[in-house]
Structure 1
Amino acid sequence: MIEWAVILLLFLAVLVLFYKYSRIQGRIEQKAREIFESWRLREREDLENWKEQELKRLSDEKAKILFETWRQEEEGNIRTDAIKRSQSVTRGKVTECLIPYFPDFPYNPKDARFLGTPVDLIVFDGLSDADEVQNVVFVEIKTGKAANLSRRERAVRECIKAGRVQYFIIHQSFDETANQLRDMGMN
């Protein structure tokens, strides 16, 4: 009977060990699943982050390539346009200086004085022929398609049209004594 008791005891020990083994194996499998799931989620996030970074890098690279292509294509156009504009401005400046010598200029070229800004020419009509000025004419010359007056040019035109034009003489003496006398009111 002792033998049966030992066998029963051994059988119970095996059952307890099998039960504990099953529980430990279940916990190990659960822990392994948790670790695997955690790893899988990290890998998925890492992969998504990598994809996102790679897409961002590729889109940035594509944008740089497209911009560089556009810049190279447009640089020629911009340079050509700048040259055309520069030539137009130069042509206009030369024309402003030479217009008094054109055959359809209505005044004697000797009577014209070039200012450039805010008006191009002042014509003292009749000055060269008889030393008698008939008119003082302000002339603005426009070349090209956009023949509009600038804000400053319009202001000068309106001032002249309104008759707000004056003439006065400034006497400047470089003689120090005369300046001192004038300052004291004695001259």
Structure 2
Amino acid sequence: MAVDIGSVLALVLFLVLVATVIYYSRKTRQIQQEAQQQARIQAQQQAQAQFEQWVRQHTDQLRTQIEQVARDKFQAELEKWKNEAERQIRKDALSKSANTVLGRIGEEFAPFLVAGRYNVNPKDFRHLGSPVDFIAFKGLSDDKEVEIIFFEVKTGNQNLNTNERKVRDAINMKRVRYEVINFSEVLEETKKRLREEVEREVEES
């Protein structure tokens, strides 16, 4: 049986052509798949980059808004505190001023205000100021037995200071006495000390 060389060659060429078509078809699909995969990756990267840019942009805007709100709130609270502090300072100043005025009025008019309470004639009050405000010689103007009373004038919740407490304690412990000073004797003693000091200076020189 004779073999037709032409038919064989045609068959071989056909098979080669089919194989080539199949190969390039697969290669083309592979290239397309790789291109699609690369395109998807690039699209994802671009989308991620755009999303991150959007987040940064809106985060900055949100941070700016939050900072502005915080500044506005802080400024409002600061103004509120300043106004309240100023009102309190004015109130305290007025209160202290009123207490000072009342204290001075009390010191000046205490004899007239407390005279009836302690049954002391206002004429019997003597103003000292420190370390006690007044000494009253009760009964002196009425030619009666004299009682000596020490008065310290306070207003509000004021307390005695250290020196005032010392005077109070001395009076309560009866560490009080009466002395008569002969001023002529004092002058003579002073002159004598001066003469002695002068003589000592002369001897030493």
Normalised to the residue count of structure 1, the TM-score between the two structures is 0.62
Measure the CA separation in 1 of the matches of 2:198 and 2:139: 40
Q: 1:27 to 1:167 in 2, by over 3 A?
A: same
Q: Which has the larger radius of gyration?
A: 2
Measure the CA separation in 1 of the matches of 2:81 and 2:157: 36
Q: 1:51 to 1:22 in 2, by over 3 A?
A: same
After superposition, the CA RMSD in angstroms is 4.4
SS of the residue corresponding to residue 173 of structure 1 reads: helix
Identical amino acids, percent of aligned pairs: 16
Alignment-derived partner of residue 6 in structure 2: none
Alignment-derived partner of residue 15 in structure 1: 29
8 Å Cα contact 2:135-2:150 kept in structure 1: yes
**AA of the residue aligned to 2:135:** I
Task: Report how far residue 163 of structure 1 moved.
Answer: 1.4
Q: 1:76 to 1:126 in 2, by over 3 A?
A: closer
Aligned residues: 174
Instruction: Write out aligned runs for 1:165-176 (5 A).
Output: 165-166=176-177, 171=186, 173=190, 176=194
Alignment-derived partner of residue 160 in structure 2: 150
Point out where structure 1 has 5 or more consecutive residues left out of the alignment: 183-187
Alignment-derived partner of residue 38 in structure 1: 52
Alignment-derived partner of residue 185 in structure 1: none
More helix by share: 2
Normalised to the residue count of structure 2, the TM-score between the two structures is 0.58
Measure the CA separation in 2 of the matches of 1:159 and 1:34: 91
8 Å Cα contact 2:137-2:149 kept in structure 1: no
Alignment-derived partner of residue 42 in structure 2: 28
SS of the residue corresponding to residue 135 of structure 2 reads: strand
Task: Report how far residue 118 of structure 1 moved.
Answer: 2.1
Measure the CA separation in 2 of the matches of 1:49 and 1:93: 64
